[in-house]
Amino acid sequence: MTRAYLAFTDTGLALAKRLADCLPGSVSRCGPGGVSLAAWTSAQFVQSDALIFVGAAGIAVRAIAPHCKSKTTDPAVVVVDECGQFAVPLLSGHLGGANDLARAIAAACGAVPVITTATDAHGLFAVDEWAKHQNCTVLEPERIKLVSGKLLAGQTVLYWTDLPVMGTAPAGLFPADATEQADLALTLCPTGQALHLVPRIGVLGIGCKRGTSADTLEAAFAAFCSLHGLAAQAITAAASIDLKQNEPGLLAFCQNHGWPVQFYSAAQLRSAPGQFTPSPFVQSVTGVDNVCERAAVLDAGGSLFYPKFAGSGVTFALACRPFAPDWRWQYD
pLDDT in tens, 74-127: 999 999 999 999 999 999 989 899 999 999 999 999 999 999 999 989 999 999
Nearest-angstrom CA–CA distance, 110 and 85: 7
Q: Tens of pLDDT along 219-244?
A: 999 999 999 999 999 999 999 999 99
Question: For residue 320, is it left (φ>0), alpha (ψ between -120 and 50) or beta?
Answer: beta
Nearest-angstrom CA–CA distance, 144 and 130: 12
Angle formed at CA 73 by CA 72 and CA 79, multiple of 5 degrees = 100
Q: Determine the pLDDT at residue 330.
A: 63
Q: What is the Cα gyration radius of the chain?
A: 24
Contact 76, 101 (CB under 8 A): yes
Fold of 127-199: 3.40.1390
The number of angstroms, rounded, from the C-alpha of 88 to the middle of its chain's C-alpha atoms is: 24
State the amino acid at position 85 in one-letter form. Answer: Q
pTM (predicted TM-score)? 0.85
Q: Determine the pLDDT at residue 72.
A: 85
State the amino acid at position 92 in one-letter form. Answer: S
Q: Would you tell me how many other CB atoms lie within 10 Å of the CB of residue 272?
A: 21
User: 3-116 with 202-320: one CATH topology?
Assistant: no
Taken in order 237, 206, 198, 137, the sign of the CA dihedral is positive
Q: Determine the pLDDT at residue 332.
A: 41
Burial degree of 243 (CB within 10 A; 0-12, 13-18, 19+): middle
Q: Determine the pLDDT at residue 331.
A: 43
If you count them, how many residues does the chain have?
Answer: 332
Instruction: Please provide the DSSP assignment of 285-329 as one string.
Output: HHSSS-SHHHHHHHHHTSEEEEEEEEETTEEEEEEE-----BTTG
Q: Which numeric CATH code is attached to 3-116?
A: 3.40.50.11220
Q: Which numeric CATH code is attached to 202-320?
A: 3.30.420.180
Listed as ranges, residues in the chain with pLDDT below 70 are: 329-332
- Kindly list the domain boundaries of the chain, sorted by start residue: 3-116, 127-199, 202-320
Contact 118, 145 (CB under 8 A): no
Question: Residues 6 or more apart from 134 whose CB is under 8 A from it?
Answer: 186, 197, 199, 325, 326, 329
C-alpha dist (Å) from residue 170 to 35, 130, 294, 326: 45, 11, 38, 11
Q: What is the dihedral of CA 15, 21, 74, 171, to 10 degrees?
A: -100
Contact 227, 309 (CB under 8 A): yes
DSSP 36: -
